[in-house]
Amino acid sequence: MKKASILLLTCFMLALLLSACGGGNKDKDGGTDASLQASNESGAGASGDSGSKQDIVTIKYVIPGTEPKEWPAVKEAVNKKLLADGLNVQIEKEYIDWGAWEQKINLKLSTNEDFDMFHVMNDWVGLANYAGRGALKDITKEVEQYGPNLKKVIPASVWSGVTKDGKIFGVPAYWYEASVDGSITLNKYLLNKAGVTNPITNRTELMSAMEQVNKNLGMKLTIPLRGGTAGPADIFQRTYDDYPFTVRDNVAFIGQDGVVKNWVETDQFKQDAAWFREAYQKKLIDPDVLTVKQEQIADQIKYGKYVFTLGTPNKLSDVQKTYPDATDKDFELVRLNPDKPHYRMVNAKNVNVVAANSKHPAEAVKFLNWLYDNQDNYDLFMYGIEGKTYKKVGEHGLESVMDPATNLPLYLQDDWMIGNLNFIRVDQDYLSANKALYVADPEAKNFFAADFFFDPSPVKAELANVQAVFTSDVSPIYRGVVDYDKYIKSATSKLKAAGIDKVLAEYQKQLDAYKATLKQ
Binned at pLDDT 50, 70 and 90, residue 295 comes out as confident
Least confident stretch, 187-201, 283-297, 356-370: 283-297
Predicted pLDDT at 53? 57
Angle of CA points 222, 1, 80, to nearest 5° = 145
Predicted pLDDT at 228? 59
More confident residue, 299 or 229: 299
The answer to whether the CB of 236 falls within 8 A of the CB of 300 is no
The answer to whether the CB of 83 falls within 8 A of the CB of 31 is no
- In this chain, the answer to whether the domains covering 9-177+347-438 and 180-344 adopt an identical fold is yes
The pLDDT of residue 486 is above 90: yes
The pLDDT of residue 408 is above 60: yes
pLDDT above 70 coverage of the chain, percent: 89
**Torsion sign (Cα): 24, 30, 35, 40:** positive
Predicted pLDDT at 520? 56
Phi, psi for residue 36 in degrees, rounded to 5: -70, -40
Query: What mean pLDDT is predicted for residues 162-169?
Result: 90
Binned at pLDDT 50, 70 and 90, residue 23 comes out as very low
Per the prediction, the chain carries an average pLDDT of 88
Predicted pLDDT at 346? 86
Region of residue 380 (left: phi > 0; alpha: psi -120 to 50; beta: else): alpha
Architecture (CATH level 2) of domain 180-344: 3-Layer(aba) Sandwich (3.40)
More confident residue, 240 or 346: 240
Architecture (CATH level 2) of domain 9-177+347-438: 3-Layer(aba) Sandwich (3.40)
138-147 pLDDT, tens per residue? 999 999 999 9
74-92 pLDDT, tens per residue? 999 999 999 999 999 999 9
Least confident stretch, 47-61, 111-125, 320-334, 362-376: 47-61
Predicted pLDDT at 122? 83
Closest CA to 98 of 77, 117, 124, 116: 124
The answer to whether the CB of 455 falls within 8 A of the CB of 427 is no
Domain ranges of the chain: 9-177+347-438, 180-344, 457-518
Region of residue 91 (left: phi > 0; alpha: psi -120 to 50; beta: else): beta
356-383 pLDDT, tens per residue? 999 999 999 999 999 999 999 999 999 9
